[in-house]
């Protein structure tokens, strides 16, 4: 039977490297937008993402002010955390240090820095999300 994560298990799961799927409402009659995205998470509960400042995703997030982030383990045993949250901060352009931290998390030190170097000059935004509701499921038992 599946069970919910404890708070510590949830924090450990989110601290591990996963690609998340970010969903945000689309008021233009289209279905909600959903896109894979890198994120970082700290035990104080803030989730940060960086994206193109002029992207549809960024515009929708700015308009909605809230998002859903799904983080999952795709291989058995399946596990996931869904975060429904409110955007509490937006920084344009995204600070280089924050962009590097996100990229290094996924690509390692050299790859992360090279990725950020290649993206220099492009408009970016760093969004901080405060979780309002958690939904977790662990099928490992």
Cβ pair 82, 21 in contact under 8 A:
no
User: 64 CB contacts (<8 Å, ≥6 apart)?
Assistant: 24, 25, 27
Residue 82 has pLDDT above 80, yes or no: yes
Claim: this prediction has a pTM higher than 0.85 = yes
State pLDDT tens for residues 89-120. Answer: 999 999 999 999 999 999 999 999 999 999 88
Q: Which of 4, 64, 77, 7 is nearest to 41 (CA)?
A: 7
Residue 69 has pLDDT above 80, yes or no: yes
Q: Enumerate domains of the chain plus CATH numbers.
A: 7-136 (2.30.110.10)
Q: Which of 140, 130, 124 is nearest to 37 (CA)?
A: 124
State pLDDT tens for residues 2-48. Answer: 899 999 999 999 999 999 999 999 988 888 999 999 999 876 789 99
Query: DSSP characters for 64-125?
Result: H-EEEEEEEE-SSSPEEEEEEEEEEEEESSPPHHHHHHHHHHHHHHHHHHHHHHHHTTS-EE
User: 116 CB contacts (<8 Å, ≥6 apart)?
Assistant: 96, 99, 100, 103
Count the Cβ atoms, other than its own, within 10 Å of residue 73: 16
């Amino acid at each position: 039977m599946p069970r919910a994560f404890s708070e510590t298990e949830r924090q450990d799961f989110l601290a591990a490297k996963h690609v998340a799927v970010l969903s945000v409402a689309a008021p233009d009659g289209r279905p909600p937008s959903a896109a894979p995205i890198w994120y970082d998470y700290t035990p104080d509960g803030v989730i940060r993402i960086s994206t193109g400042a002029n992207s549809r995703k960024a515009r929708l997030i700015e308009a909605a002010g809230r998002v859903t982030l799904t983080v999952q383990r795709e291989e058995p045993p399946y596990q996931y955390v869904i975060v429904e949250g409110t955007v509490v901060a937006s920084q344009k352009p995204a600070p280089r240090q924050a962009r590097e931290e996100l990229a290094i998390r996924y690509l390692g030190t050299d790859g992360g820095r090279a990725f950020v170097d290649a993206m220099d000059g492009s408009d970016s935004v760093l969004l901080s999300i405060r979780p309002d509701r958690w939904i977790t499921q662990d099928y490992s038992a």
